[in-house]
Structure formats: structure tokens, C-alpha cells
């Protein structure tokens, strides 16, 4: 079994995580409960050995600027991985900035991958880049009514590799433009994500719970599946893994 290496002992390892959370908007509803998500996600990542850089209430352009600066951070050279966490309102193509009206000021999902691909973030080349996105991806409810003997309970929440080639006699190493990403979205395309004004989003609650319970013995994508399975009895929402290009298993090894 191939797994991603941990390059440094804990005392010399400089793991960094980026967390961007938009709560207050000029035109859209305030995301009540988001502060709980920030607190719980920060606590989880710090417990896993990451120095969490947190930014709140940014426009799409400001989010792009923050990502570019984070991608250039020298600590990635002595890190073995990173987490990129985004929480906001959203739509099918991206994440809403604070000036969005639902169609303007949108950070494209593609921009995340472009800023951290192997061309623009060489320090994280060959290292796991974990993307967590909590936002609605449309207005549809993620369930369908099926005649059954028991009606499911409905939630009371609000929505929210290498190869070498010979070129003219000289050996050149060629790499994938984009690799080593693993992404978990809070919902399937075109559907809403649910959030409690007091307890935070259902997705972040369950992700934190599964990581705390299983990070010591499960690889990342197995934990993603555990998060997805935790929604089996919550038919309005189902997290989804997309744009995942990990070539090995990634174990977080908490405590090491």
C-alpha cells in the first residue's frame, strides 16, 4: 500500500491550513451559526498539527488574493500537506463573496485548484491538498419523495505522477499540472446545504465528528466516505467527493 510521506518530525513540521468564512453579506442573508463552524474546524485542524490561517468576510477578489499569498508561504516547503476550507453562500459554479447578489462576486471553484496546482504552488507539489467546501451549490432540495412504509424525518435547519522524456538530447521531467487534491463538497451539484443558526452547518458538524473519531486509523478518503455515510438518514443533503486526484492514501497520523 502506498501512502503519502510525512517529511519532518512534528517539532520541525510546518503544516498550515487556510480557512475562509463569509458570514455577513451586503445583499444576501447573514449565515447565522457560521461562527460555530469556524471554531470547531479550527480546533480540529489545530489538533491535527496545522497552523490555521483564518480570514472572514471577503469578496471574491479578496479571497483570490488571500489564496495567492497563502500558496506562496515558505512553510509549505517543510510541510507534508495542507487543508483549504471555504464556508459561504454559494451557487453551482462557485463561492459567494460578501458583495454577491447571488450571481455577481463569485469565486469560481476552478480558481482554488489553479492557485494550488503544480505550476503555481511548487512547494506543495506531490503533497496532499485537502479542499473542504461548505456552501449551497444551487436551490434544489437533495431528496426525492418515495412511497415507503416509514416517512424519513426532515431537518429543521436553514440552507446554506512523473514521467521522463527525451527532448533534443536533454532529459526533462514532466509533471501533472494538477495532482494530489482531495475535495469534499457539502452537497451534490445544484442542491442546498443545511445549517443550524445555533449549532452550525450539518456538514461541518459531521465532518469534525468523523475526523475526531477516525483520524487515528483511517485514511482521508475513507473518512470522507464515513462523512457521506453519516447522511444516510438525512435525505435532503449528501456530501460528495469531486476533483480528487490523490495518487496514494493520506493518513493524518494525529500525535506523530
Handedness of CA 189, 190, 191, 192 (dihedral sign): positive
> How many CA within 13 A on the CB side of residue 112?
24
Which residues, in sequence order, are CB contacts of 121 under 8 Å at separation 6+? 71, 72, 76, 115
> How far is it, in rounded angstroms, from Cα 154 to Cα 171?
60
Please choose, from the candidates 144, 142, 139, 132, the residue with its C-alpha nearest in 3D space to the C-alpha of residue 203: 132
Catalytic residues: 89, 136
Question: What number of other Cβ atoms are within 10 A of residue 24's Cβ?
Answer: 12
Given a contact cutoff of 8 angstroms between Cβ atoms, the answer to whether 131 and 184 are in contact is yes
Residue 103 neighbours by CB under 8 Å, 6+ apart: 91
Amino acid at each position: 500500500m502506498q501512502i503519502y510521506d510525512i517529511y519532518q518530525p512534528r517539532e520541525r513540521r510546518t503544516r498550515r491550513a487556510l480557512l475562509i468564512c463569509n458570514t455577513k453579506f451586503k445583499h444576501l442573508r447573514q449565515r447565522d451559526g457560521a461562527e460555530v463552524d469556524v471554531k470547531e474546524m479550527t480546533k480540529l485542524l489545530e489538533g491535527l498539527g496545522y497552523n490555521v490561517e483564518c480570514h472572514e468576510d471577503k469578496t471574491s477578489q479578496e479571497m483570490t488574493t488571500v489564496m495567492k499569498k497563502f500558496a506562496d508561504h515558505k512553510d509549505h516547503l517543510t510541510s507534508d500537506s495542507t487543508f483549504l476550507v471555504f464556508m459561504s453562500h454559494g451557487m453551482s459554479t462557485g463561492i459567494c463573496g460578501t458583495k454577491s447578489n447571488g450571481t455577481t462576486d463569485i469565486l469560481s471553484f476552478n480558481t482554488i485548484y489553479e492557485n494550488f496546482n503544480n505550476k503555481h504552488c511548487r512547494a506543495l507539489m506531490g503533497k496532499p491538498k485537502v479542499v473542504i467546501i461548505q456552501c449551497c451549490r444551487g436551490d434544489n432540495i437533495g431528496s426525492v419523495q418515495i412511497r415507503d412504509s416509514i416517512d424519513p424525518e426532515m431537518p429543521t435547519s436553514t440552507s446554506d505522477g512523473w514521467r521522463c522524456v527525451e527532448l533534443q538530447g536533454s532529459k526533462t521531467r514532466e509533471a501533472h499540472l494538477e495532482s494530489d487534491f482531495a475535495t469534499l463538497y457539502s452537497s451534490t451539484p445544484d442542491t442546498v446545504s443545511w445549517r443550524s443558526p445555533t449549532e452550525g452547518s450539518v456538514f461541518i458538524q459531521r465532518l469534525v465528528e468523523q475526523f475526531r473519531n477516525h483520524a487515528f486509523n483511517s485514511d482521508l478518503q475513507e473518512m470522507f466516505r464515513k462523512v457521506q455515510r453519516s447522511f444516510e438518514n438525512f435525505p435532503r443533503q449528501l456530501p460528495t467527493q469531486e476533483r480528487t486526484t490523490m495518487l496514494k492514501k493520506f493518513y493524518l497520523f494525529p500525535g506523530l
